[in-house]
């Protein structure tokens, strides 16, 4: 039979894949949208272009976005795009989209093993219940708009917990975050020194920069000092590396003293008291050495270098704003006595405080309540007065779970012989203790740095459970 008897079947044309269609369409749609935004308001177009540049990097490597968020959180005052949207909010939005994308594309079994709910059910329940209770407070809040704004800020900070679980995949990612936190804090300090951003009042010179007030800057620098000092105990690092980390510790300690923050000093003192017990076996001698250095250095600074006004501020709490804080605490406690269970509503302390001013008890600075409407300068009293005992119990559960997870991560890394990560986890544990103490005098309830450090703790446990320790960090096992 000849070849002409066969009918040639046409070869089917390859179907156009979905990515081949979606990608050009996305480019066209993005170009049209940016053009419309540029016509309406150029600042929106600038934010869109910046987001398009960041989005592929963050979607591919969420840890990049998390590190960028950590760094830019120190420079949030400078991170506004022409006054429209801050870089931190833009990065946070892209991180949330990346987390949702990973959740949507992951297999159900894989996601159930990686998600926050499966790994941390109690912490997840506390976060959800806290948000739910804050939303419920809209019903009795005097200013529902302030309550809604507070709920949104809580929700954005709580989103860092599932994002950290997904983004922090290995020990290298943890070290990136630690390095970024150290770099961000020192950039702020450098800006303060170079720009001369020193708050002067009655011969008191307090270090502040980049819109970060001295009290907040002091608490962040205490974290730097604690983590860096803990890492100096890593005997597997070279002497040069340990000397560099010690230099970071010393510079951070000097910067803490320059902020004249009593809360930061008390947080540092609490961490120093606990350090010899929490640092682990074989490292207590160096912990005691750092305690001695810190005490001697602090006394020498205020005795020989600091001006008399600075010494008076630190040694006499009644000076430099102490009385104003006491008035705020007095009014806050009146709120608690009036509404102990439900509180006055999320974010409503500044609004409702004026109603509790004319009560028995001496109030020396009522202008900070009537005119300036300041917050309580104590995050625990803020939560208690705004959300009552229920809100404070859930808040304490969140903090306690994160502190427990930091200690658990240290033990897991110790059992795996990873000394570097063990020290990072122990440093995080001590840093959280210092923050919890310093926050008795702080108003930074919505601080990104605080919630980032809290979110890292459960992520450390996840890393410890799946980590593969490098040969350089494994303790040699004795031969039997």
Q: Give the Cα separation of 40 and 50 in Å (integer).
A: 17
- For residue 186, give the nearest of 254, 239, 95 by alpha carbon: 254
Q: Give the Cα separation of 331 and 333 in Å (integer).
A: 5
Q: Give the Cα separation of 441 and 176 in Å (integer).
A: 30
Cβ-Cβ contacts under 8 Å for 412 (sequence gap 6 or more) = 461, 464, 465
pTM of the full structure: 0.81
pLDDT reported for residue 216: 85
Q: Give the Cα separation of 275 and 280 in Å (integer).
A: 9
Rounded to the nearest 5 degrees, what angle is found at the Cα of 48, between the Cα atoms of 42 and 49? 90
Rounded to the nearest 5 degrees, what angle is found at the Cα of 96, between the Cα atoms of 169 and 132? 110
Angle at which helix 239-259 crosses helix 262-278, to 10 degrees, equals 150
Q: Give the Cα separation of 109 and 97 in Å (integer).
A: 21
Domain spans of the chain, in order of start = 20-119, 121-158+321-475, 197-320
**Cβ-contact 280, 422 below 8 angstroms:** yes
| pLDDT in single tens digits along all 480 residues of the chain | 444 444 445 555 444 444 455 445 545 555 555 455 455 555 555 555 556 677 778 888 889 889 888 888 887 766 555 455 677 787 888 888 888 877 777 665 555 456 788 889 999 999 999 999 999 999 999 899 999 999 999 999 999 999 999 889 888 999 999 999 988 888 888 877 776 555 444 445 777 766 677 888 888 899 999 999 899 888 888 889 889 888 888 888 888 888 888 888 899 999 988 888 888 777 777 778 888 888 888 888 777 776 776 677 776 665 544 546 777 888 888 899 989 999 999 999 888 887 877 654 454 444 444 444 567 788 999 999 999 999 999 999 999 999 999 999 999 999 998 999 999 999 999 999 999 999 988 888 898 889 999 999 999 999 998 765 443 444 444 444
- For residue 227, give the nearest of 212, 249, 209 by alpha carbon: 249
Pull the structure tokens for residue 90. 């833009």
pLDDT reported for residue 302: 77
Give phi and psi for 252, each to the nearest 5. Answer: -65, -40
Q: Give the Cα separation of 74 and 429 in Å (integer).
A: 21
pLDDT reported for residue 98: 83
Which helix (H) or strand (E) segment holds residue 421: the answer is: helix 419-438
pLDDT reported for residue 254: 87
pLDDT reported for residue 94: 83
pLDDT reported for residue 57: 80
């Amino acid at each position: 039979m000849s070849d002409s008897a066969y009918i040639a079947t046409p070869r089917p044309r390859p179907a156009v894949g979905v990515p081949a269609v979606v990608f050009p369409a996305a480019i066209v749609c993005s170009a049209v949208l940016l053009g419309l935004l540029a016509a309406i308001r150029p600042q929106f177009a600038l934010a869109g272009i910046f987001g398009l540049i960041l989005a592929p990097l963050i979607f591919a490597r969420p840890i990049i976005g998390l590190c960028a968020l950590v760094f830019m959180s120190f420079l949030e005052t400078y991170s506004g795009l022409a006054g429209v949207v801050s870089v931190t909010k833009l990065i946070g939005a892209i991180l949330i989209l990346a987390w949702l994308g990973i959740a949507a594309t992951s297999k159900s079994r894989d996601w159930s093993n990686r998600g926050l709910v499966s790994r941390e059910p109690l912490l997840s329940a506390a976060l959800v219940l806290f948000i739910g209770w804050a939303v419920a407070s809209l019903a009795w809040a005097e200013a529902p708009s302030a309550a809604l704004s507070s709920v949104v800020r809580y929700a954005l900070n709580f989103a860092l917990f599932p994002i950290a679980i997904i983004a922090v995949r290995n020990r290298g990612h943890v070290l990136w975050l630690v390095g970024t936190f150290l770099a961000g804090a020192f950039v702020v300090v450098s800006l303060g020194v170079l720009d001369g951003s020193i708050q002067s009042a009655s011969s008191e010179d307090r270090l502040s920069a980049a819109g970060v007030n001295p009290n907040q800057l002091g608490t962040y620098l205490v974290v730097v000092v604690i983590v860096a000092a803990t890492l100096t105990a890593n005997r597997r690092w070279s002497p040069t590396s340990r000397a560099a980390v010690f230099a970071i510790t010393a510079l951070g300690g000097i910067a803490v003293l320059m902020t004249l923050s009593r809360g930061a000093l008390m947080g540092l003192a609490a961490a120093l008291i606990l350090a010899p017990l929490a640092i682990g076996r074989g490292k207590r001698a160096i912990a005691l050495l750092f305690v001695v250095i810190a005490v001697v250095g602090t006394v020498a600074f205020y005795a020989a270098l600091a001006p008399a006004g600075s010494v008076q501020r630190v040694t006499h709490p009644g000076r430099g704003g102490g009385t104003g804080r006491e008035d705020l605490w007095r009014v806050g406690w009146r709120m608690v006595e009036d509404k102990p269970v439900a509180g006055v509503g999320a974010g409503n302390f500044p609004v409702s405080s004026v109603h509790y001013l004319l009560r028995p008890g001496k109030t020396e600075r009522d202008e900070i309540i009537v005119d300036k409407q300041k917050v309580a300068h104590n995050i625990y009293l803020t939560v208690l007065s705004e959300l009552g005992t229920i809100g404070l119990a859930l808040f304490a559960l969140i903090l306690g779970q994160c502190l427990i997870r930091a200690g658990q991560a240290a033990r897991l890394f110790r059992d795996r012989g990873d000394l570097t990560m063990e020290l990072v986890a122990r440093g995080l544990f001590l840093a959280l203790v210092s923050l919890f103490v310093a926050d008795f005098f702080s108003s930074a309830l919505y601080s990104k740095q605080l919630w980032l450090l809290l979110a890292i703790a459960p992520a450390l446990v996840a890393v410890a459970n799946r980590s593969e320790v490098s040969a350089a960090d494994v303790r040699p096992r004795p031969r039997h």
